[in-house]
Structure 1
């Protein structure tokens, strides 16, 4: 049941996430800049997580722990910025559904490779025919929602 609750939580987060590009696009229209809206959105996210850290704690954030990881690990923040900014720019053109179907397709392809090689400490889960079949279905879904 533990995994099922986490999966449900992920679905709920996904549903919330589907609203973000449209909300940020509305903000972009108001401020006249997709990137300005992205900066505001990320600023609000930063303030929000600071509040969470203040209440729950930050763990072992020290100079030692921060310097112990490779420098490129911090590029994860850049990935978040790219996602937010691309949503503001792309979703108004494609619509939310096509944007997210394409995002999910890319996530699944990237995840397939990450699992296969055990990237970033993940357990190795080799590519097999059922995984490829599942991703093929997602890719077909992406094609279907963009064409019809």
Structure 2
């Protein structure tokens, strides 16, 4: 299993694009969860609509149909551990945390928690070699870039902390996005591995959404049997874009990890999340949105950390 060649100057902008999608998806799913008064139902709607989109795309495109035909042979021949199919459950958990916590702790704390978890696990996943990019040493510059990214994100969203309530109100909810962010790197590596063997990220994305919908639907049915349904579905069309955006993010990330590795892909998506959040606050501000000098400088520092990680530093031997 080998990684394909992908120039950093091409791959990193695409990773930033994927991060822009995460920011938009977080805003949409958070708003839907608040509107329905049910974060779990919002996650079901998001993943369910994404499944419909990826099924249609996979059936319409020749590469998608070839990928679908490659799924069962890959599983029968055990080309990768079957538990990699659980990547969809990780994605479901991430979307669920958006619907449950964004309205409680705000997009600022949510972003910090996700970025912290993702930066730490990106180093770990690259080191143990879960992705097709293989094992990559934990070099000082990679550690510095990850730590600098976490610090930059905290700085960028720090103006909003002053408006936060007592820490006891958000300390427990923030654990969910922290865990979701940590698991994201594993999800990206697992999807990238499946992409190699299916021959297309479309099939990996289809499996991801299929397993995610199954997990979320079971959880939602249990919730309904205990607490009943929430508010009715809204009529505004934009509430249903989260699934399509998720398809773009998952498929693009699965392709990028093969060439960039998990850490670089993660740093690019983190930069995109910050830029996307900043753009959303400028164009579609919500109550509590704050854009201060620290917001701009923290965002610039995040981009600097991303560039730092991509510079051609002296190479070490690949970890064996």
> TM-score, normalised on structure 2?
0.42
Please say if residues 75 and 82 of structure 2, whose CA atoms lie closer than 8 Å, have aligned partners that are also in contact. no
Deviation track 1:60-114 (CA, whole Å, cap 9, x = no partner) reads 4343323424221111000000110011122223322432232122112111011
Change (3 A) 1:11 1:147: closer
Q: Which deviates more, 13-22 or 53-62?
A: 53-62
Aligned match for 2:30, one of 14, 17, 25: 25
Paired position in structure 1 for 2:13: 8
Matches within 5 A, 1:1-148: 2-56=7-61, 57-58=64-65, 59=67, 60-67=69-76, 68=78, 69-145=80-156, 147-148=158-159
Change (3 A) 1:62 1:126: closer
Which of 1 and 2 has higher RCO (CA within 8 Å, sep 6+)?
A: 2
Q: Which has the larger radius of gyration?
A: 2
Aligned-pair CA distance for 1:47: 0.6
Question: Whose helix proportion is higher, 1 or 2?
Answer: 1
Paired position in structure 1 for 2:305: none
Gaps of 5+ in 1: none
Aligned-pair CA distance for 1:31: 2.5
Task: Measure, in 2, the Cα distance between the counterparts of 1:117 and 1:97.
Answer: 31
> TM-score, normalised on structure 1?
0.85
Q: Which deviates more, 22-31 or 44-53?
A: 22-31
Task: Measure, in 1, the Cα distance between the counterparts of 2:131 and 2:104.
Answer: 34
Q: Which deviates more, 49-58 or 107-116?
A: 49-58
Change (3 A) 1:38 1:94: same
Please say if residues 102 and 142 of structure 1, whose CA atoms lie closer than 8 Å, have aligned partners that are also in contact. no
Please say if residues 30 and 101 of structure 2, whose CA atoms lie closer than 8 Å, have aligned partners that are also in contact. no
Gaps of 5+ in 2: 1-5, 160-320
Task: Measure, in 2, the Cα distance between the counterparts of 1:94 and 1:29.
Answer: 12
Aligned-pair CA distance for 1:141: 2.5
Task: Measure, in 1, the Cα distance between the counterparts of 2:71 and 2:140.
Answer: 44
